[in-house]
């Protein structure tokens, strides 16, 4: 018989996910982590910079290994589109770095719904004393 988990006396700290990689694998892992933590009641902020900015475009097809999305979905695993929709539903805050967009030649590109164009200071402020994971 499973023992019930103790209820924490304080809310878990914010989880910040710094996505700098432009691979499908890293973006997928970032959003699996984000949605999992948010589903457990944690506040989550994803900040994409440099090549990672491609994950928050309206069409993330520019990520490395574009065929991986079809392989992931064929295996019965949620793809990026499903994970982004779940992230929105769960209240995950999505930020993309203005400098990263510029560095990647993506300035002015269409972004996924709800994505904020910010800078690193905004990300660090959102996470506060919480945890930051880099991918």
Residues 19, 95: Cα–Cα separation, whole Å: 10
On whether residue 32 sits in a domain, the answer given is: no
On whether residue 1 sits in a domain, the answer given is: no
Measuring CA to CA, how many Å separate 12 from each of 27, 30, 61, 112, 127?
23, 18, 34, 27, 12
Hunting for tokens 């209820």 — which residue is that?
A: 7
CATH number at residue 127: 3.40.1260.10
On whether residue 63 sits in a domain, the answer given is: yes
pLDDT of residue 7: 60
On whether residue 23 sits in a domain, the answer given is: no
On whether residue 122 sits in a domain, the answer given is: yes
Angle at 19 between CA 97 and CA 74, to 5 degrees: 125
On whether residue 26 sits in a domain, the answer given is: no
On whether residue 65 sits in a domain, the answer given is: yes
| Band (62; pLDDT cuts 50, 70, 90) | confident
Q: What is the pLDDT of residues 70-107, one digit of tens each?
A: 999 999 999 999 999 999 999 999 999 999 999 999 99
Closest CA to 111 of 74, 58, 71: 58
Count of structural domains within the chain: 1
Does the global pTM surpass 0.75?
Answer: yes
On whether residue 28 sits in a domain, the answer given is: no
* Domain span at 62: 42-134
125: pLDDT strictly greater than 60: yes
pLDDT of residue 8: 58
Tell me the mean pLDDT in the region 104-129.
96
């Amino acid at each position: 018989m499973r023992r019930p988990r103790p209820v924490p006396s304080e809310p878990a700290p914010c989880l910040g996910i710094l996505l700098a990689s432009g691979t499908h694998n890293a973006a997928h892992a970032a959003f699996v982590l984000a949605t999992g933590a948010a589903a457990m009641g944690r506040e989550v902020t994803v900040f994409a910079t440099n090549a990672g900015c491609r994950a928050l475009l309206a069409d993330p097809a520019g990520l490395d290994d574009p065929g991986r999305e079809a392989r992931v979905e064929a295996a019965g695993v949620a793809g990026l589109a499903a994970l982004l929709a779940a992230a929105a539903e769960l209240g995950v805050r999505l930020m993309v770095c203005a400098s990263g967009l510029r560095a990647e030649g993506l300035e002015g590109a269409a972004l996924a719904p709800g994505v904020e164009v910010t800078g690193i200071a905004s990300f660090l402020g959102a996470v506060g004393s919480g945890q930051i994971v880099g991918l």
